[in-house]
Amino acid sequence: RPILDMSYSRHFLDFQGSSIPSSMKKLVVTKLSQNFREAVTLQQDSPVPLPGDGDLLVRNRFVGINASDINYSAGRYDASVKPPFDIGFEGVGEVVALGLSASADYTVGQAVAYVKAGSFAEYTVVPARQAVPLPSVKPEFLTLMVSGATAYLSLKELGDLSEGEKVLVTAAAGGTGQFAVQLAKKAKCHVIGTCSSDEKGGFLKSIGCDRTINYKTENVEAVLRKDYPEGVDVVYESVGGKMFDLALNALAIKGRLIVIGFIAGYQNPTGLQPIKAELLPAKLLKKSASVRGFFLNHYLSDYKMALQHLLKMYERGDLVCEVDFGDMSPEGKFTGLESVFRAVDYMYMGKNIGKIVVELPHSVNSKL
């Protein structure tokens, strides 16, 4: 693969002792559909991309699964993007090559994480300014990139948490719910978490949740009415549909409901499940309450600060970053890009405890 500018090629740093292959596997959206298996194709021999002057070539070791992967494959985020396009939002790996400008801050072999479309691939080109240097390649760091940052920034910017307030977290044992629970506890709030199994309830108690509600065996509405007659002050809501209606009705005076997603509807053709929205103005007025949406892309100016804060918390041992590799799934651990399909199914079946991560093993003979 010739690089014409020879002054540049001297600085296109390859990892010693092993060559970067010319082709790789990656996942590509070839048809817009909310059915992930229908939308996405595993390509076996895509060319490995070359990093430009300010770029890193990252060999992905762990990639994160997000509920919104389905929204992306359905074309819901940017109607102008037409298939084929790359998919996957976040990865952790090591730098295996880089451009001249990028080499001012990074070196070959360095561990990095990033948030950028196209992580479901063996190699991804990442602009150096978007990369986050890490002390090592660990899947726990991946949990913070989207899920942790979403919980941190949404609660900080929109939650306005005060000591003693009651915070309800829906899908509390999931990838981002686990962080909302812990951060609300650190703010000295009383935390209630909904989940779908006693095993998840046990996990939630272990990270500080004061009251868990297993919605498969308990009536969430009845529990909230009985145990919290004055309502809850903040809801961190990612389920949508009936759960949104429940959460709205459970708000206290001046309550804040933060919408970070609505996973219950993502597999529908419209991406939504119906809610009883016609009563919304009256309900908000009656309680001086608010409903606010949070989308991480709109808070990128604060992103690095949030991530550094979370990384320090994790390294101090103040934050549990639960990773689910699918060891308990029918076909076992999520290993290799082909298992991304299974991992998405596993998430939508509500099986995961913590963040779902897929490991990408590399058989390349590397000295890294």
Among 62, 55, 142, CA closest to 322? 142
Q: What angle do CA 250, 255, 258 make, to 5 degrees?
A: 90
Give the model confidence (pLDDT) of 208-229 as tens digits.
999 999 999 999 999 999 999 9
Strand locations in the chain (E) = 23-29, 40-47, 55-64, 85-86, 90-98, 111-115, 123-127, 132-133, 166-169, 190-195, 211-214, 232-237, 251-259, 290-293, 323-324, 355-359
Quote the CA–CA distance of 147 and 64 in Å, as a whole number: 9
Q: Alpha-carbon Rg of the chain, whole angstroms?
A: 21
Question: Domain spanning 145-298: which CATH class is it, in words?
Answer: alpha beta
Average pLDDT of the residues of the chain: 93
CA distance 191 to 211: 7
Q: Taking 60 as the threshold, does the pLDDT of residue 2 lie above it?
A: no
Q: Residue 67 and residue 13: Cα distance in Å, rounded?
A: 36
Contact yes or no for 280/313 (Cβ under 8 A): no
Residues, the chain = 368
CA distance 129 to 132: 8
Residues 6 or more apart whose CB falls under 8 angstroms from that of 95 comprise 56, 57, 58, 106, 107, 108, 109, 110, 112
Q: Which residues contact 200 (CB under 8 A, 6 or more apart)?
A: 172, 173, 212, 214, 353
C-alpha angle 264/269/275, rounded to 5°? Answer: 45
Tell me what percent of the residues of the chain surpass a pLDDT of 90. 90
Delimit the CATH 3.90.180.10 region(s) of the chain. Answer: 12-137+322-359
The answer to whether the CB of 155 falls within 8 A of the CB of 183 is yes
Q: How many Å apart are CA 13 and CA 302, to the nearest integer?
A: 32
Per-residue pLDDT, averaged over 264-291, amounts to 95
pLDDT, tens digit (0-9, with 9 covering 90-100), for 283-314: 999 999 999 999 999 999 999 999 999 999 99
Looking at residue 362, what is its pLDDT?
78
SS3 category, 24? strand
Half-sphere exposure of 245 (CA within 13 A, CB side): 11
Write out the residue limits of the CATH 3.40.50.720 domain(s) in the chain. Answer: 145-298
CATH number at 12-137+322-359: 3.90.180.10
Asked if the peptide bond before residue 84 counts as cis, ω within 30 degrees of 0, the response is: yes
Kindly report, residue by residue over 312-365, the tens digit of the pLDDT: 999 999 999 999 999 999 999 999 999 999 999 999 999 999 999 999 997 644
Q: Tell which residue, 357, 294, 268, 365, has the closest CA to residue 321.
A: 357
Q: What is the pLDDT of residues 87-128, one digit of tens each?
A: 999 999 999 999 999 999 999 999 999 999 999 999 999 999
SS3 264: helix
